[in-house]
Amino acid sequence: MADCHLVAYRQAGFNPIAIASRTKEKADRVAERHEINRVYSSYHELLQDPAIEVIDIAVPPDQQWPVIQEVVKHGNHIRGVLTQKPLGVDYSEARKIVDACQQAGLTLAVNQNMRYDHSIRACKDLLGQNLLGDPVLATIDMRAIPHWMDWQQRLGWVTLRIMSIHHLDAFRFLFGNPVRVFASFRPDPRTAQLFSHRDGICLYILEYENGLRVSGWDDVWTGPAREGAESDIYIRWRVEGTSGLAIGSIGWPSYPTPTPSTLDFSTNHYPEKWFRPRWKECWFPDAFVGPMAELLCALEKDAEPEISGRDNLDTMALVDACYLSAAEHRSVSLEEIKREAA
């Protein structure tokens, strides 16, 4: 929140007016840094402020539902809610959050900010202009070592609900929902020394009805890069179509060093030529403008946000399908997850 959300909001000219944290001392420091005038001792106090119309909830996933239960009591002045991914701890809890906000008349958006990375956004535009033709194969290959958060040890999560969810949601953004998924996991040897988990290294294949195949290789081990060996850290993606090819990189593994993502593409609409657009903006923190801007525009237009909670239920179902697939060594459909949660 301090290093990405509020930085991006100030750059975009948004107007954060109040803040609360677990400790008021920390809230005071962040408020001073970002010139926020009102600091509350708890989020319960903050929610009572009638001037607040939009809430950005940045808490661990297992705390989102309790916070939402308090937020919906203040629908007389709160109109919009931005939550973080994952939306709760699983698909069932995400659906409770979505239903509660809808019943309270609140517009709910989810901070799936990789959709707003410049290279992913540009790839969506290429697909929309049919410059790549019909998608045939798409991949994301992540070899990166994220910084872990304390609550991950409590929940026993490493990669799938923290990093892979970005990739799975980006695939949905680009291509829609797959029919089924195959997934396989193993623990990350480095993180296994800290806490038990099963989703350290995550491999998954998405199957689409039209024949498109999509895969993600999310490797947070990457070899002994922290144990003395030379490293090879990156996130790269690739989309192959019947009319063109797009190759991209995500600059995030270099964070906090600002490193823009990249895109190179070719198309038979313009034979024997590579196009290489470049940006100065980065996924972290610049893309964090996108979800909040989407929510604010939706409120202005009285419309559903592109990253609505209702849409995000399919991303949550896809994540749960990966967990079930890996546990039972079989393919799992999104519809199976939804039926079991009904």
Beta-carbon contacts of residue 26 (< 8 Å; ≥ 6 apart): none
Q: So where are the chain's domains?
A: 5-113+289-307, 118-282+316-334
| pTM of this structure | 0.96
Confidence at residue 131, expressed as pLDDT on a 0 to 100 scale: 98
Query: What is the rounded distance in angstroms from the CA atom of residue 163 to the CA atom of residue 83?
Result: 16
Closest residue by Cα to residue 318 from 215, 180, 216: 180
Confidence at residue 147, expressed as pLDDT on a 0 to 100 scale: 86
Confidence at residue 342, expressed as pLDDT on a 0 to 100 scale: 76
Q: Superfamily assignment of 118-282+316-334 in CATH? A: Dihydrodipicolinate Reductase; domain 2 (3.30.360.10)
DSSP 8-class letter at 161: I
**Mean pLDDT for back-to-back runs of 10 residues, the chain (342 residues):** 93 95 93 94 96 96 97 96 97 98 98 97 98 98 93 95 97 98 97 94 98 98 95 97 98 93 97 95 95 98 97 98 98 96 80
Confidence at residue 341, expressed as pLDDT on a 0 to 100 scale: 84
Q: Burial letters for 156-172: b for 16+ Cβ neighbours within 10 Å, e otherwise? A: ebbbbbbbbbbbbbbbb
Which pair of structure tokens corresponds to residue 109?
């958006």
CATH class label, 5-113+289-307: alpha beta
